[in-house]
Structure 1
Amino acid sequence: MYHKPYYLSNQDETKAYIRILHASPNAPAVDIYANNDLIAENLKYGEFTDYISVMTGRYNIKVYPANKKQDPIIDTSLNVISNTITTVAVIGEFPNISLLPIEDPRIPIRPNRAYIRVVHLSPNAPNINVSQENDMLLFKSVAYKEATDYLSLRPVTYNFKVKPIGSNKTILYVPNAKLTRDRFYTLYIIGLVGDTPPLQMLIPLDGNSYLNF
């Protein structure tokens, strides 16, 4: 569940968009406050909020276990820049968790192409390679907390493989990922290698596909 305490009109030049991803594999569901206003409620592992429109500036962000408002598990600041679209991820293994802002950059697109990138958020996974099912390499040696650049692909259905760098062992196989033309996607790698919750890939539509300023 999300809240919109900072909504602005489309004409406001100080606007930005953010959404929040809960990517901490062993953290509880959380409530998130910006300057003491609730912006995400009972956000569970693997879930995103919708994008919300916010004023630019510096915010105090507090993250609490859901339905509690004492002893925050994150207490930090977040600088929101004008005319940006950002996914703010809760990352790390509890209790050593933090926020990672990941910008969804607006870039020129070629018509009738789809765009993907990888964000590595698995805290116990080594650097990874991401390839197609035929082992055509798409992204090489992606490190923890790294966001790659976007890659242009044909808008069809793909099967993705994730392998540790220097190994032929597939640690994650993701079939039937359908990509639509003129859209941007991020392949978020979350979870734990050899543990619970297991490694998985989230493939949301990024806000730079449809949000305007």
Structure 2
Amino acid sequence: MYKNNISNQREMPMGYVRVIHTVPDAPNVDIYANDKLIVSNLAYGKYTDYLPIPEGIYKISLYVAGTKDSPVLSDMLTVDKNYILTVAAVGNLKDIEFRAITDANEVKKTGKAMVRFLHLSPNAPAVDITLPDGTVIFSNIPFEHITSYIDVMPMNYTLQVRVAGTDNVVLTVPNVNLSADKFYTVYAIGLVGEKPELQALLIQDEK
């Protein structure tokens, strides 16, 4: 269960934050903001809804679920009024870090879908995102890098993840269903040739 214990008084300027767990060798985690539990028992590959949080600066700490002896990771996060953020736990357990990502931060093209790509597979090389016919949508994206949004026709796509600059397809992603007037991020998570396997998550980026 995800739990939001931060005061969400409506008269206060609010930002919106969700959390995603993409560390393939990490256990389930609890996440605290200024020592208050906001997310409990978050598993690898899962993410929360957006949580309304008063604007301000927060100490974000990650613990193994059910413990609070010492944090696996702590970092500072600034939440601004009306900003929509995703906080991703990324990397491997030995070098885990937070990555704060601003969502839906570009002008929406009416009637189009807005989509971008984020590479969070720790052992994968730089990749291209293509259509099955080889058309390149995003090129040469290394680990932890995120593209800008592009506008595309709303429809159901099949995407391929290829080793950058080659025809070597490491992942095929069918049924990428993009709707008009929505923002999306395609997250590549998992491991190449290991468990958990490389996979793609299509996540809508609006509260």
TM bucket (normalised to shorter chain) is over 0.9
Deviation at 1:163, TM superposition (A): 0.7
Partner of 1:126: 125
1:115-159 deviation per Cα after TM superposition (whole angstroms, max 9, x unaligned):
110011111111110011221110011121111111111111000
Pairing 1:129-208 to 2, within 5 Å after superposition: 129-207=128-206
Aligned-partner Cα distance in 2 for 1:61–1:124: 26
1:141-191 deviation per Cα after TM superposition (whole angstroms, max 9, x unaligned):
112111111111111100000011132110010011111111111000101
Between Structure 1 and Structure 2, how many residues are aligned?
206
Partner of 1:29: 28
1:65-107 deviation per Cα after TM superposition (whole angstroms, max 9, x unaligned):
1111112101222122222100000001112201000110333
Cα RMSD of the aligned pairs, angstroms, is: 1.2
Aligned-partner Cα distance in 1 for 2:133–2:184: 21
SS at structure 2 position matched to 1:95? helix
Pairing 1:82-101 to 2, within 5 Å after superposition: 82-101=81-100
Aligned-partner Cα distance in 1 for 2:75–2:106: 30
Aligned-partner Cα distance in 2 for 1:152–1:203: 15
SS at structure 1 position matched to 2:93? coil
SS at structure 2 position matched to 1:146? coil
Partner of 2:49: 50
One-letter amino acid of the counterpart of residue 9, structure 2: L
CA contact (8 A) 1:30 1:64 kept: yes
Partner of 2:8: 7
Deviation at 1:110, TM superposition (A): 2.2
Range that drifts further, 60-69 or 43-52: 60-69
CA contact (8 A) 1:27 1:95 kept: no
| Structure 2: runs of 5 or more not aligned | none
Aligned-partner Cα distance in 2 for 1:75–1:113: 38
Aligned-partner Cα distance in 2 for 1:110–1:171: 31
Distance 1:68 1:166, change over 3 A: same
Pairing 1:100-119 to 2, within 5 Å after superposition: 100-119=99-118
Aligned-partner Cα distance in 2 for 1:58–1:198: 35
Aligned-partner Cα distance in 2 for 1:77–1:149: 24
Aligned-partner Cα distance in 2 for 1:6–1:190: 32
Range that drifts further, 34-43 or 76-85: 76-85
1:6-51 deviation per Cα after TM superposition (whole angstroms, max 9, x unaligned):
3232x54x21100000000110000001111111100000000110
| Structure 1: runs of 5 or more not aligned | none
TM-score (norm 1): 0.93
One-letter amino acid of the counterpart of residue 128, structure 1: V
Aligned-partner Cα distance in 1 for 2:85–2:65: 23
CA contact (8 A) 1:8 1:53 kept: no
TM-score (norm 2): 0.95
Aligned-partner Cα distance in 1 for 2:80–2:203: 22
